[in-house]
Amino acid sequence: MTKTFFGAFSAIALMASVAHAQEFTTYTVDDTVDNVSFSVESAILDNGLTIDFTSHPGDMLERTREDVGSDVVLFSDAVIFNFCSAKVSREVIEADVTNIGFCPYAIFVYSTPDNPDRTIVGHQKYPGESMAPANDLLDSIIETALE
């Protein structure tokens, strides 16, 4: 049992270091989070995709800021859209079944208190050639939203 626990712990530590090494593709636009979020949401829906969940991490981080002993305001606003594409997901998962771990995909939109009218929009850049279709989809959605 100890050997199994150690093996599982080692695997978790390895996954954590790999996840930390992930990169992000970001775009900066001189506009508000509300406007950019609306455009991103529209671009996702215009691709025939369904948004599974819209997260507001900035609200949660602000609401809990004092509870965790911080005085740092991180975001003016922040939104994350989670969604999947049956076509792209099937393609990348058929190429490598472990790519299921990347579903659903996410696009984040945020601004900071220092620059509330400068918005960052982006996505995690998924590793490996088998995930190229997902990266292309996410870039295409963002580029459409920012046109």
Mean pLDDT to the nearest integer, 115-142: 96
Q: Say if residue 85 is exposed, middle or buried (CB neighbours under 10 Å; 0-12, 13-18, 19+).
A: buried
Return the biggest CA–CA distance within the chain: 56
- For 58-93, write each residue's pLDDT tens digit: 999 999 999 999 999 999 999 999 999 999 999 999
Task: Look at residue 17 and tell me whether its pLDDT is greater than 70.
Answer: no
Which residue carries 């490598």 as its tokens? 96
In the structure, what pLDDT confidence band is assigned to residue 130 with cuts at 50, 70 and 90?
very high
pLDDT more than 90, % of the chain:
84
Mean pLDDT to the nearest integer, 134-142: 97
Torsion of CA 121, 105, 97, 1, to 10 degrees: 100
Distance, CA of 51 to CA of 54 (rounded, Å): 7
Q: What is the CA radius of gyration of the chain?
A: 18
Task: Look at residue 45 and tell me whether its pLDDT is greater than 50.
Answer: yes
Predicted local confidence at residue 5, as pLDDT: 42
Which domains can be identified in the chain, with CATH numbers? 23-145 (3.30.310.70)
Count other C-beta atoms under 10 Å from residue 88's C-beta.
20
Q: Which helix (H) or strand (E) holds 64?
A: none
Task: Look at residue 118 and tell me whether its pLDDT is greater than 50.
Answer: yes
SS3 labels along 93-140: HHHCHHHHHHCCEEEEEEEECCEEEEEEEEEEECCCHHHHHHHHHHHH
